[in-house]
Amino acid sequence: PRAGLIHRLDKDTSGLLMIARTLEAHTQLVRALEARQIAREYRAVCLGRLTAGGMVDEPIGRHPTQRTKMSVHHSGKPAVTHYRVLQRFDNFTFIACRLESGRTHQIRVHLAHRKHPLVGDPLYSGRLVLPAGSSEALQLLLRGFKRQALHASRLAFAHPITGAPIELQSDLPDDFQALLQLLLAMEKVTPPST
């Protein structure tokens, strides 16, 4: 029914998809995904300054009152997200995320639950709050960033028929790169706090 779709993305998340071309490949890849034999890594920019990497091991289920959202919920399905810090900025953190499970909106829900929602996330970050002292350029970019800052950057798996290792990578899209470049530029001009 999904034309061989194995690894899908939330609306407005950029990056790699995985689509099987044959029924045999589809069957093998679904089994590999269920057995956690497909490595999936994402890049994200979240609000706030994370001090270190870590893991979120919280069940995710349908939000009890807002049916278009998911939430950390005791009756949800198990979900584990590992994250590591790639770059810290004054009010943001650029991170890499690796999934053990694949729940709907998993990274977005887990980071919002930890009070570090993704930049631009229309569903989980709430009202846009501009950091104090942010430049006009950063304010314009944040106001215009109309999607979650989330990118599926890497997939690694065994070929479903031959077993040969495959690793695919996707560069960050232009809007994501522009966000990182502006955050880096802001960091360079911001005087250190005393």
Residues serving a catalytic function are 10
Sheet strands (E) in the chain: 5-7, 14-15, 18-19, 39-47, 54-57, 60-62, 70-72, 80-88, 92-99, 150-158, 165-169
3-state secondary structure of 172: coil
144 phi/psi in degrees, rounded to 5: -90, -5
Angle formed by the axes of helices 174-189 and 136-144, nearest 10°: 150
The strand pairing partners of 83, in sequence order, are 54, 97
Pairing mode, strands 92-99 and 80-88? antiparallel
Paired tokens of 116: 């570090």
